Structure 1
Amino acid sequence: MSAVKAGIAPLAIVFEDDGLVPNNPMPFLVYKGAVDVSKNPEATIERLFSDNGWGAMWRNGVYDYAHYHATVHEVLGVASGHARVQFGGAHGRVLVIAAGDVAILPAGTGHQCLSTSDDFCVVGAYPPGPPMDLQRPTPENHARALKTIPLVAVPATDPVMGKDGPLVQLWKR
């Protein structure tokens, strides 16, 4: 039985470059309540991401300072609890992500945790490619990121829905 709930479609948001956080012309995707995390939540999310070709996984939270990744895309699967996260930099959007939600961040998408429940836990993963980098929003990092972000390959699979998932259709160069 699939851990992904039937009939789930992602919310797609394009964040503009704000001069410090480059973001990406490809949409940030959020699947609300997509994953059944009622049993072994971390392992369920890890299996889903792995089955769909995303790896280099970790378990933790989301950093409480603004940052982005300029060389890799990232997926965050919420295993437990909830958090308020600022996505897209200072001019982006604050979203509440909760157990069962999955957020997919194209390279350059700003993110910062504003608050969490005590039991908040995220599983993060990356598509095949370069290792994760961590950039703070500075003019120098922004200038470098504008050169590296266009070079990041579009993943072959959506970490939630696989090779025919919405990411594959929505993320075009």
Structure 2
Amino acid sequence: MMNKQDIITYFFENDGDIPNNILPVVIYKNALQHAVQKDLEVLFCQNGWGNNWHDIILTEDHFHSNTHEVLGLKSGQARLKLGGEKGEIVTVEKGDVIILPAGVGHYSVDNSIEYQFVGGYPNGAEWNLKFSLKKEDCSSILAEIASIPLPEKDPVFGDDGPVFEYWK
């Protein structure tokens, strides 16, 4: 299991444009060092986080209002902005895993294609793509985000994963 110093959390408030979530973003640094399975897609699928993809991250701030998301960095290094305009720029490296609650804004700040993430969603959910509360029905989006249940399993560690210490 991971040491506390290998887990980073960020809390982001609704900024009027990006809704974010009362749940924190959880980042596992070098998660694969601690996981039995070293293939991110297989690992995520074993823990019920399916509908996987392999790609870079959009360079435009966006969020998903209908599902949580896991991003595992398969190769390279990436700098992402999390949490909207007032959020944080984070640098992730190969083997790092980011668990994003529904509604949290994210985008790539680098104009790079020198990295690749594996993404996934609890129970293989079909994700939507939203760009701003100002362009959508704000109240229905906020209600949708609030209604998303906690995942059944941590995408990396399954039933007893550390995400459940932070997502209550």
Task: Check whether TM > 0.5.
Answer: yes
Aligned positions of 1:85-164 closer than 5 A: 85-115=80-110, 117-128=112-123, 130-141=125-136, 142-164=138-160
Going from structure 1 to structure 2, the CA distance change for 1:130 and 1:34 (only over 3 Å counts) comes to: closer
Deviation at 1:138, TM superposition (A): 3.6
* Aligned twin of 1:31: 28
Gaps of 5+ in 2: none
Q: CA RMSD in A?
A: 1.8
2: CA distance, partners of 1:107 / 1:47: 22
What's the counterpart of residue 10 of structure 2?
Answer: 13
Structure 2 distance, partners of 1:23, 1:59, is 24
- Which runs of no fewer than 5 residues in structure 1 stay unpaired? none
Between structures 1 and 2, the one with greater strand share: 2
**Shift in Å, 1:7:** 3.7
Choose 14-23 or 112-121, whichever is displaced more.
Answer: 112-121
C-alpha distance in 2 between matches for 1:24 and 1:46: 25
Please tell me whether residue 166 in structure 1 is matched to residue 165 in structure 2. Answer: no
- CA contact 2:48–2:124 (8 Å) conserved in 1: no
Shift of 1:61: 0.7
TM-score by length of 1: 0.87
Greater than 3 Å deviation, 4+ residue runs = 5-9
CA contact (8 A) 1:21 1:110 kept: yes
Deviation of 1:52 (Å): 1.2
Q: Distance in 2 between matches of 1:129 and 1:47?
A: 13
How many residues are treated as equivalent by the alignment?
162
| Separation (CA, whole Å) in 2 of partners of 1:68 and 1:90 | 13
User: What letter corresponds to residue 121 of structure 2 in structure 1?
Assistant: Y
AA aligned opposite 1:32: K
